[in-house]
Amino acid sequence: MKIKSVSTGVWTVVAIAVAVVWAFPVYWMFNSSFLPNAVLQSTTPTFLPFGGSFDNFKNVFADGKFVAALGISLTVTLTTVAVALFVAFLGALAISRFKFKGRKSFILAMLLIQMLPAEGMFIAQYKMMSSVGLLNNVLGLTLLYTAAVIPFTIWMLRGFVAGVPAELEEAGMVDGLSRTQAFMRITFPLLAPGLVASGVYAFLQAWNEFTVALVVMTEDQMKTLPLWLRGFVQASATRETDWGLVMAASMMVAVPVIIFFMIVQSKMSSGLVGGAVKG
Amino acid sequence: MPSHAPAPPAQQPPQVESASTATPPPVVKKRKSKAPIFLIAPTLIILIAALGYPVGWQIVTSFQKFGLKQQFGAPPEFVGFDNYTALLTDPNFWVILGRSLLFCLLAAGITVLIGFLFAILMKRVGTVARLILQVSMLLAWAMPVVAAMTVWVWLVDWRRGVLNWLLTRFGFDAEGHNWLAEPLTFFAIALIIVVWMSVPFVALSIYAGLTQISEEVLEAAAMDGATGIQRIRYIVMPLIAPVLSIVLLLQLIWDLRVFTQIKLLQDAGGVANETNLLGTYIYQMGVGSGDFGAASAVSILMLIITIAISWYYVRSLMKEEN
Amino acid sequence: MKKYLGLAALTTAAALSLTACGGSGAPAASSAPTSTGSASASTPAGNADKTLTLWLAGGDTPDALRTYLKDTFKSKTGATLKIEEQAWPDLVTKMTTALPDANNTPDVVEMGNTQSPTFTNIGAFTDLSDMFEELGGAKLIPSFVEAGSVDGKKFTLPYYAGSRYMFQRADVWKEAGVETPKTLDEFNTAVKTITEKNPRDIKNFSGFFLGGQDWRNGISWIFANGGELAKKDGDQWVSTLSDPNTLKGLAQLQDLYKTASKAPADAKDATPWLYINDADQILDEAGKPTGKTSLAAATIMAPGWAHFSIGDLAKDAKTGKDVREWNDKKFSTLVLPGNDGKPAPVLAGGSNIGISAKSQNQDLAKDLMRIIFSSEYQDLLGKNGLGPANSDNNASLGNDEFAKAAIASASNSKLTPAAPGWAAVESSMKLEEFFGKIRDAADLEALAKEYDAKITPQLNLK
């Protein structure tokens, strides 16, 4: 027992060391975003933001484009998450609860679509969006993103759907609930963690994507956050990269994701505390 | 989508993995009904609407002579398999293919290995240390790719980078060393970044799998005198093999098509033509050089190669579906 | 309507006088009346709901000029001008997708002068031959006009130009005791000597900082020795890196890379000024600079507008942002001398501008071209350090040392080959790759031949 606690101590140190190393780039962004460029240009790095200020953030907001880009990114991302989850849930329901002709091909197709290289499709995606008038359109981008995340979401969700025994639902119906009621009251709560997990995936994909957005969102006021950030970095690099400013801008893109994670984490925990999902 | 690091979070229940386990397939209703058709219809509609034309265009274009002239309205000419034969006889293509495969295998292998070790570590340590580690993983995972790349490019910068500063501190002659100039170190940096971004997903997924292994079994094994390594080898590994194989497959697929990280690193430095992987190669050939026929052919070849690599896994997966 | 126009003119004048604070007030005074005058004469009421889209590449066009364009366009045509800035690295992608698309094409597009031939050759732009004389004709920079022409037809015209010249650390040159060079050979020797002497004992110090992949500046040594990148042989373009004259220049470059420049082999032409600015000079007790400084080079080569990025760090009084303030005691300019003592041929930097052939607003787009090529706008370009397209307006550059250096180096500037596939050569990064290998090449000729074989097929469009 004593030996175990000693080695646990060693492992704890290792775990914390690993955590520090892994979070370092994130910390570096955080740290630098508060420091003035003159300090950052030094050949000796400054590891703590003492004497820092919010000037960089003020300057980031000063260009006024951040809020617009945030709005577009939030709209596109949240719509993508909502639509993809709903549609993928139906698809997952189909393949885990029903046996039908083409089921295997459908599953196979969901896998293969993930293997399509996206880099060769930009031109065609542009042409398609342009011909239906969805260029520079939140709806158009959402459609492309939704299609890109659905296959994996179905794949992920079907495991969760399959994990909720249909018998539970049927038992509920025996107790006098309608099919819909049974589903809403019994199955759905059990699926919550799965939906959250898949939602996180969809959220990250849509939030991070920038090559498709670059091609189909050509107008300045329709830029998503990654495009805004990239433009910000490029504009800064043409004279002399202002790292403090660029890091502050990066922070602004990362913070919404971190907030989203925090919200979702608590929701997911409560879902698990409910204790229903235990294999 | 080219971006990395998507995935299920920590407490994801193990059912996700049941897809590939030997456990009985899900309860399947054997009734004839139109319901499944209605259920998959929205998926099909969205996928066809968004991908139908681009994929079709790509297949058709790969058989055409399609350059900038055609893009600006000249009628394209069908050239059969010319684009494919030109590619397959171009030594440069094989170099890039080999490089991409090597990069993909290394990145996926290292990611899964580190992820596995981290998961074991999370299981081994107390709650506080575990939470610290989990938060660290979540932070790295939540970093948007463009933001993360901006930070990394700066960290490895040859004049102002923390990396060189640290190395110099430890007595290496790293001052002013440019890591992106040589293809070998360029890829080493790229590998580190890709692994850094991907490990959180793998570690948290495997950890979720580990939490399903009952403590009693492990304790019983320990009582019987099994060492830590033995317990991992004979009890833990078989139980989480399904999770491992799924994350490995996903990493292989994602790492073979890695694009954003390489593109942004190339923008920061390095010799583009010596640091191309398949993704950036397609991009450079298509949008960069205006040879869309050849770019489409590479895309199709890449798809075929991905299928070939994952064929074994896909087949076993499909067998379970029976 | 009248009232509104008056207002528009007033805002124009206000915007201009605001921006002119830094320089002289001349443009505000001269342009406001003209725009009001022509506005009342030629405003077609039907344009009010029309919008014209102009793509500007990168941030080189200052905000004041953008405002001028928008306001003047509004008052002259009644239509709205929408300016969208495209990042240089994405420009070819954007042009490739948007220009063929009649519904979404920008109407007027700025592009790098070296990117122009590829797009003009495939008919992406409207033929402007009929208005060429009106826009300046022979007064427009000939090499740029050439880059935008196909078979004598003018498709794109020069937007602004900037020639490359040297920026020196006068103090470091002095400390090294090196005279101002008068020929190319003297220059090569001078920067070598400075590197050897390294008067401030800086680690990795470059007498002349030239990025390994920086072919746009390195090319001057090829030109100065009579070499070319490519020639037209019959109706086919051929890469000429292994021609004897080109090789002579390459050998000199190799020597510079080995003995005078410590720039990394993969450095491109972006932001060389970082290396001659002092960013964080650290002084010891005696007030002497220690080795820790960002200063790492005594000389760089860059387009003229780089001078805004060179100097001592200062705070802009109005915006509070960090700016660079030129300091005569520390910095000076030098036009690269050729073998004959006259300015060496350098690669002209700058942009061309053209009207998308698919644009649905051809007439309005032409109106915008008239505004851009008007004397007022050309002068505004010059006042902001951008070489005007029209040589009549060169005086607007002023007569400070930057203007003199710019005009001297421009007198012998050249452009990249007008081959139809040139943009493909550039975007495939072959030249960056080739230049990056020069320093360590054991056999320059073999290397040059290898790249000739790679580049020649790209020069001629398939």
- Mean pLDDT score, C103-107: 91
Q: What is the pLDDT of residue B9?
A: 41
Q: Is residue B50 part of a domain?
A: no
**pLDDT > 90? residue B94:** yes
Name the amino acid, one letter, at A159: G
C387-388 and C156-162 beta bridge pairing:
antiparallel
- At A62-96, the pLDDT tens digits run 878 889 999 999 999 999 999 999 999 999 989 88
Name the amino acid, one letter, at B108: A
Q: Is residue B54 part of a domain?
A: no
A240 near B CB under 8 A: no
Q: How far is CA C400 from CA A23, A252, C103, C307, C332, in A?
A: 51, 42, 46, 12, 12
Q: Is residue B13 part of a domain?
A: no
**pLDDT > 90? residue C313:** no
pTM score of the predicted model = 0.81
**pLDDT > 50? residue B152:** yes
Q: What is the pLDDT of residue A70?
A: 93
- Cα(C131)–Cα(C156) distance, rounded to whole angstroms? 12
Average pLDDT, chain B: 82
- Residue B24's pLDDT band, with cuts at 50, 70 and 90, is very low
- At A13-46, the pLDDT tens digits run 999 999 999 999 999 999 988 887 666 766 677 7
- Cα(C109)–Cα(C53) distance, rounded to whole angstroms? 9
C204 near B CB under 8 A: yes
Q: What is the pLDDT of residue B83?
A: 93
Q: What is the pLDDT of residue A3?
A: 56
Count of residues making up chain A: 279
Instruction: Answer whether B175 sits within 8 Å of C433, measured CB to CB.
Output: no
CB B133 within 8 A of CB B122: yes
- Mean pLDDT score, B202-228: 80
**pLDDT > 80? residue B71:** yes
Q: Cα-atom radius of gyration of chain C, to the nearest Å? A: 23
- What angle do the packed helices A103-113 and B292-320 form, to 10 degrees? 140
Q: What is the pLDDT of residue B295?
A: 93
**pLDDT > 70? residue B16:** no
Instruction: Answer whether B36 sits within 8 Å of A98, measured CB to CB.
Output: yes
Q: Is residue B281 part of a domain?
A: yes
Q: What is the pLDDT of residue A238?
A: 61
Look at residues C251, C161, C270 and name the one whose alpha carbon lies nearest to residue C209.
C270
Residue B217 is part of which domain span?
90-290
Find tokens 């709903």 and name the residue: A86
Instruction: Answer whether A215 sits within 8 Å of C97, measured CB to CB.
Output: yes
Instruction: Answer whether B287 sits within 8 Å of C96, measured CB to CB.
Output: yes
Find tokens 């130009």 and name the residue: C161
C349-355 and C156-162 beta bridge pairing:
antiparallel
- Partners of B196 on chain A (C-beta within 8 Å) are 22, 25
- Mean pLDDT score, C229-237: 88
Q: How far is CA B76 from CA B79, B88, B294, C241, C397, in A?
A: 9, 22, 13, 33, 48
- Partners of C270 on chain B (C-beta within 8 Å) are none
**pLDDT > 50? residue C354:** yes
- Cα(A83)–Cα(A65) distance, rounded to whole angstroms? 27
**What's the start-to-end Cα distance of chain C, in Å?**
54
Mutation to test the C interface, candidates A227, A239, A246, most C Cβ within 10 Å: A239
* Minimum distance, in Å, between the CA of residue B57 and any CA atom of chain C: 15
- Mean pLDDT score, C398-413: 82
- Mean pLDDT score, A170-198: 79
Of A192-201, A220-229, B8-17, which one has max mean pLDDT? A220-229
Q: What is the pLDDT of residue C33?
A: 39
Q: Report the Cα A265 to chain-centroid distance in Å.
A: 13
Contacts of B212 (CB under 8 A, 6+ apart): A279, B13, B14, B239
- Cα(B292)–Cα(B68) distance, rounded to whole angstroms? 8
Instruction: Answer whether C427 sits within 8 Å of B284, measured CB to CB.
Output: yes
3-state secondary structure chain C: CHHHHHHHHHHHHHHHHHHCCCCCCHHHHHHHHHHHHHHHHHCCHHHCCCEEEEEEECCCCCHHHHHHHHHHHHHHHCCEEEEEEECHHHHHHHHHHHCCCCCCCCCEEEEECCCHHHHHHCCCECCCHHHHHHHCHHHECHHHHHHCEECCEECEEEEEEECEEEEEEHHHHHHHCCCCCCCHHHHHHHHHHHHHHCCCCCCCCECCECCCCCHHHHHHHHHHCCCCCEEEECCEEEECCCCHHHHHHHHHHHHHHHHCCCCCCCCCCCCHHHHCCCCCCCECCCCCECCCCCCCECEEEEEHHHHHHCCEEEECCCCCCEEEECCCCCEEEECCECCCCCECCCECEEEEEEEECCCCCHHHHHHHHHHHCCHHHHHHHHHCCCEECEHHHHHHHCCCHHHHHHHHHHCCCECCCCCCCHHHHHHCCHHHHHHHHHCCCCCHHHHHHHHHHHHHHHHCCC
ipTM value > 0.95: no
Q: What is the pLDDT of residue B242?
A: 76
Q: Is residue B96 part of a domain?
A: yes
Instruction: Answer whether C203 sits within 8 Å of B176, measured CB to CB.
Output: yes
Instruction: Answer whether B35 sits within 8 Å of A94, measured CB to CB.
Output: yes
User: How buried is residue B32: exposed, middle or buried, by Cβ count under 10 Å (0-12/13-18/19+)?
Assistant: exposed
Of the listed ranges A186-195, C263-272, C343-352, the least confidently predicted one is: C263-272
Count of residues making up chain C: 462
Q: Cα-atom radius of gyration of chain B, to the nearest Å? A: 23
User: Helix (H, G, I), strand (E, B), or coil: what is residue A136?
Assistant: coil
Look up residue A223 and give its two tokens: 């830029």
Look up residue C459 and give its two tokens: 């020069």
CB C420 within 8 A of CB C117: yes
Q: What is the pLDDT of residue C204?
A: 81
Look at residues C367, C371, C350 and name the one whose alpha carbon lies nearest to residue C107.
C367
Q: What is the pLDDT of residue C270?
A: 63
Would you tell me how many other CB atoms lie within 10 Å of the CB of residue C275? 24
Q: Report the Cα C146 to chain-centroid distance in Å.
A: 17
Q: Is residue B141 part of a domain?
A: yes
Helical H segments across chain A, by residue range: 2-32, 37-40, 55-62, 65-97, 103-113, 122-131, 138-163, 166-174, 179-182, 188-208, 211-216, 225-239, 243-273
* Minimum distance, in Å, between the CA of residue B206 and any CA atom of chain C: 39
Q: Is residue B3 part of a domain?
A: no
CATH of the domain at B213: 1.10.3720.10
Q: What is the pLDDT of residue C291?
A: 44
Look at residues C275, C264, C266 and name the one whose alpha carbon lies nearest to residue C299.
C275
Of the listed ranges B261-265, C272-276, C428-432, the least confidently predicted one is: C272-276
Q: Nearest residue on chain C to B287, judged by CA atoms?
A: C93
Percent of chain C with pLDDT over 90: 32
* Minimum distance, in Å, between the CA of residue B168 and any CA atom of chain C: 13
- Residue B245's pLDDT band, with cuts at 50, 70 and 90, is confident
Top pLDDT among C390 and B33 is at: C390
Would you tell me how many other CB atoms lie within 10 Å of the CB of residue C17? 14
List the 122-181 stretch of A: residues with Cβ below 8 A of C: 122-123, 126-127, 130, 133, 135-136
* Tally of domains in chain B: 1
Look at residues C359, C123, B68, C53 and name the one whose alpha carbon lies nearest to residue A123.
B68
Top pLDDT among A273 and A193 is at: A193
Among C123, C267, C462, select the one facing B72 at the smallest CB separation: C123
Percent of chain B with pLDDT over 90: 32
**pLDDT > 80? residue C84:** yes
- Cα(C367)–Cα(C39) distance, rounded to whole angstroms? 12
Mutation to test the B interface, candidates C429, C432, C438, most B Cβ within 10 Å: C429
Q: What is the pLDDT of residue C67?
A: 93
Q: Is residue B53 part of a domain?
A: no
Average pLDDT, chain A: 82
Among C89, C93, C204, select the one facing B176 at the smallest CB separation: C204
Top pLDDT among B273 and A129 is at: A129
Q: What is the pLDDT of residue C197?
A: 87
C51-57 and C312-315 beta bridge pairing:
unpaired
Top pLDDT among A177 and C284 is at: A177
Q: What is the pLDDT of residue B7?
A: 40
Of B104-118, B308-322, C106-120, which one has max mean pLDDT? B104-118
Of A213-217, C113-117, C230-234, C365-369, which one has max mean pLDDT? C365-369
A contact chains, 3+ CB pairs < 8 A = B, C
**pLDDT > 90? residue A101:** no
- Cα(A141)–Cα(B50) distance, rounded to whole angstroms? 10
Instruction: Answer whether B289 sits within 8 Å of C123, measured CB to CB.
Output: no
Q: What is the pLDDT of residue C81?
A: 94
Cα angle, residue B279 at apex, residues B273 and B283 outer, rounded to 5°: 70
Look up residue C335 and give its two tokens: 């036009």
Longest dimension (CA), chain C: 73
**CB pairs < 8 Å spanning B and C:** 83
- Residue C293's pLDDT band, with cuts at 50, 70 and 90, is low
Look at residues B177, B171, B180, B160 and name the one whose alpha carbon lies nearest to residue B267.
B180
- Residue C462's pLDDT band, with cuts at 50, 70 and 90, is low
CB A169 within 8 A of CB A182: yes
- Residue A240's pLDDT band, with cuts at 50, 70 and 90, is low
Would you tell me how many other CB atoms lie within 10 Å of the CB of residue A5? 8
Instruction: Answer whether C96 sits within 8 Å of B269, measured CB to CB.
Output: no
Q: What is the pLDDT of residue B272?
A: 73
Percent of chain C with pLDDT over 70: 84
**pLDDT > 50? residue C20:** no
Top pLDDT among B67 and C288 is at: B67
Q: What is the pLDDT of residue C203?
A: 77
Q: What is the pLDDT of residue C318?
A: 67
Find tokens 């979540």 and name the residue: B138
**pLDDT > 80? residue C5:** no
Q: What is the pLDDT of residue B96?
A: 94
Buried b (16+ CB within 10 A) or exposed e, C202-233: bebbbbbbbbbbbbbbbbbbbbbbebbbbeee
Side-chain-facing half-sphere of A51: CA atoms under 13 Å = 7
Q: What is the pLDDT of residue B194?
A: 96
**pLDDT > 90? residue C369:** yes
Top pLDDT among A59 and B14 is at: A59
**pLDDT > 80? residue B211:** no
Q: What is the pLDDT of residue B1?
A: 41
**Which DSSP state fits B81?**
T
Percent of chain A with pLDDT over 70: 88
List the 58-117 stretch of A: residues with Cβ below 8 A of B: 83, 86-88, 90-91, 93-100, 103-104, 106-108, 111-117
- Cα(C419)–Cα(C433) distance, rounded to whole angstroms? 20
Find tokens 């440069």 and name the residue: B92
CB C303 within 8 A of CB C215: no
- Residue C38's pLDDT band, with cuts at 50, 70 and 90, is very low
- Residue C32's pLDDT band, with cuts at 50, 70 and 90, is very low
